């Protein structure tokens, strides 16, 4: 039995496989990362707003901060909030002293946000308690004045 050299063998076919691609396509990953970056850039300023307050306007410049400050907010109903939680005025000083001890003393900066419709005396009572407790770095928060 002689095999014909010119005819291919039917039972044994040779398949050539494609070479394995060892490169990673980073384009989809970069696209996803850019979208996430944009989402975080847009949503980050919205996360710092705690209690909805209509702030008064002024021409003062902004202060530079290296860490998150303590924020006291007084809304138009006269309720006092420490960061985002409502607090009674009698509980304010002990809680602030406990927070200040963990942050390194009474030299922590405290921002007071007062709604422009709130009674002036309410904001002054809060600031008086802060001053009486030994907190000397108290700042009032306002919005930038429009059309000046």
Digit-coded pLDDT (tens) for 22-54: 788 888 899 999 999 998 888 876 666 566 766
Q: What is the 3-state secondary structure (H, E, C) of the chain?
A: CCCCCCCCCCCCCCCCCCCCCCCCCCHHHHHHHHHHHHHHHHHHHHHCCCCCCCCCEECCCCCCCCCCCEEEEECCCCCEEECCEEECHHHHHHHHHHHHHHHCCCCCCEEEEECCCCCHHHHHHHHHHHHHCCCCCEEEECEECCCC
For 57-144, give the CATH class: alpha beta
Taking the domains of the chain in order of start, what are their residue ranges? Answer: 57-144
pTM (predicted TM-score): 0.52
Q: What is the pLDDT of residues 57-98, one digit of tens each?
A: 676 666 555 566 788 888 888 888 888 888 888 888 888 888
């Amino acid at each position: 039995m002689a095999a014909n050299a010119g005819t291919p063998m039917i039972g044994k076919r040779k398949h050539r496989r494609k070479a394995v691609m060892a490169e990673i396509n980073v384009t989809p990953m970069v696209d996803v990362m850019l979208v996430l970056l944009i989402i975080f850039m847009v949503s980050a300023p919205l996360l710092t707003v705690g209690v909805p307050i209509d702030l008064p306007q002024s021409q003062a410049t902004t202060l530079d901060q290296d860490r998150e400050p303590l924020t006291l907010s007084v809304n138009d109903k006269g309720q006092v909030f420490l960061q985002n939680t409502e607090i009674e005025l009698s509980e304010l000083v002990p809680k602030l002293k406990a927070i200040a001890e963990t942050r390194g003393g009474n030299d922590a900066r405290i921002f007071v946000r007062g709604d422009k419709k709130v009674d002036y005396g309410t904001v002054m009572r809060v600031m008086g308690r802060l001053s009486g407790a030994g907190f000397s770095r108290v700042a009032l928060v306002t919005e930038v004045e429009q059309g000046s």
